[in-house]
Amino acid sequence: MRLSGIPSFLIVSLCLAGCSSTSGMEALDIQKPSSETTSSVVRPSAPIASAPMARASKAPSKTQDVAEAEPSAEIDRPFGLAEEETVAFAAPALTDSAEPQVEPAALVSPPKLLSRAAPAMLAGPLTRYGFRDAKPINFGKSSPRHLAVHGVDVSRWQGNVNWEKLRGQGANFAYIKATDGGDHLDPMFMKNWRNAEAAGLKRGAYHFFYWCRTAGEQADWFIRNVPKMDGALPPVIDVEWNGESSCKRRPSREKVLEKMQVFMDKLERHYGQRPIIYTAPDFYRDNLRGEFLDYSFWVRAVAQHPSKVYPGRKWLFWQYSGSGLSHGVTGRIDLNVFHGDERQWRNFAGGRQTVADAN
């Protein structure tokens, strides 16, 4: 009978439909995004090279590196990087047992010149020093005022910066806080980044390193949020012990050096520039003496010349005050100086050298 063939046809059709449906679900499952996350931000399945616009409205995560309140709650907070010459620690060290393993890395990389910046991106004529200081220090013959090229570093704590006035006061360069750890973006970063350049300052970005996050994810977060642009100063890794951090871990010296190297190698590959190391006296004493000899250092020394605080160390930038005063900001601002004359500055800003010779 012809009718007896219909049930068989229906059974075969249903089986084929079931197989097709299963294949479609498997295909969808293969393309699911990565489930890896940071504390507050879902990470993409592939790295993002840069973000042209910052999400200024993003709230700090519960695990952000430095305990920060809104500027209105602490108007006189003066510093953008390290806050004290010596930091007291609030809790004993934790072990690294819970931290994901990081692949071992060499602690010293061969010297590498920075990529040559486009001439049009170089800063214009230098402006001369015109800052005042709420707590001036007499450095004697070693006064930073005798050096030709001065600059500032800023973060959200400086509020809305008038970059035109800041440049007129004597700022020729600025380092701008970009990121903390693996999920915190300074809400003023992109505004400061754009406006500093518009005012004619050479600008660079810095990252506050967080010892409770892997180096790789911190590098990815910085790369995601800091544009890769011709003419920018080399990126900076800010390494210090900070008693206000929600992370109380103090890794061993060997672990510190390993994590720093992983982070810096990743940034150097992306930006084509060797990162600069910012540090403070206590962290330097514990971890960095005799290390990273082919890297440029930016050192904090607010009471004595760097030669006294970091004997034998060549340095490129010196943060000599956390109590600077300028018409461009309300409150205090960090003051810095480049170690060299105007010719050396233009060579460095154009990418032809990496480290200024120490006196």
Q: Which pLDDT score, from 0 to 100, does residue 148 have?
A: 94
Q: CB–CB of 253/291 below 8 Å?
A: no
Q: Which of these, 186, 167, 153, lies nearest to 125 by C-alpha position?
A: 167
- What domains are defined for the chain? 79-349 (3.20.20.80)
CA distance 325 to 168: 13
3 state SS of 23: helix
Using the 8-state DSSP alphabet, how is residue 37 labeled?
A: B
Q: Which pLDDT score, from 0 to 100, does residue 125 have?
A: 72
Longest dimension (CA), the chain: 113
List, in order, residues 6 or more apart from 280 with CB less than 8 Å away: 81, 82, 84, 85, 87, 240, 241, 300
Q: Which pLDDT score, from 0 to 100, does residue 255 have?
A: 98
Q: Which pLDDT score, from 0 to 100, does residue 231 have?
A: 93
Q: Which pLDDT score, from 0 to 100, does residue 178 have?
A: 98
Write the single-letter amino acid at 32.
K
Instruction: List residues with catalytic annotation.
Output: 240
Write the single-letter amino acid at 358.
A
- Return the ∠ at Cα 348 (arms to 276 and 325), rounded to 5°: 70
Q: Which pLDDT score, from 0 to 100, does residue 88 have?
A: 35
Q: Which pLDDT score, from 0 to 100, does residue 333 have?
A: 95
Structure tokens given for 350: 């154009």
Q: Which pLDDT score, from 0 to 100, does residue 66 have?
A: 35
CA distance 320 to 336: 6
Q: How far from 292 is each of 180, 289, 315, CA to CA, in Å? A: 22, 9, 12
β-strands 132-133, 317-325: how paired?
A: antiparallel
β-strands 184-185, 173-180: how paired?
A: antiparallel
Sequential pLDDT tens for the chain (359 residues): 444 444 454 444 444 444 443 333 333 333 333 332 333 333 333 333 333 333 333 333 333 333 333 333 333 333 345 433 333 333 333 333 333 333 333 233 333 443 333 333 344 578 777 889 999 999 999 999 999 999 999 999 999 999 999 999 999 999 999 999 999 999 999 999 999 999 999 999 999 999 999 999 999 999 999 999 999 999 999 999 987 778 888 999 999 999 999 999 999 999 999 999 999 999 999 999 999 999 999 999 999 999 999 999 999 999 999 999 888 898 999 999 999 999 999 999 875 444 444 44
**pTM as predicted:** 0.68
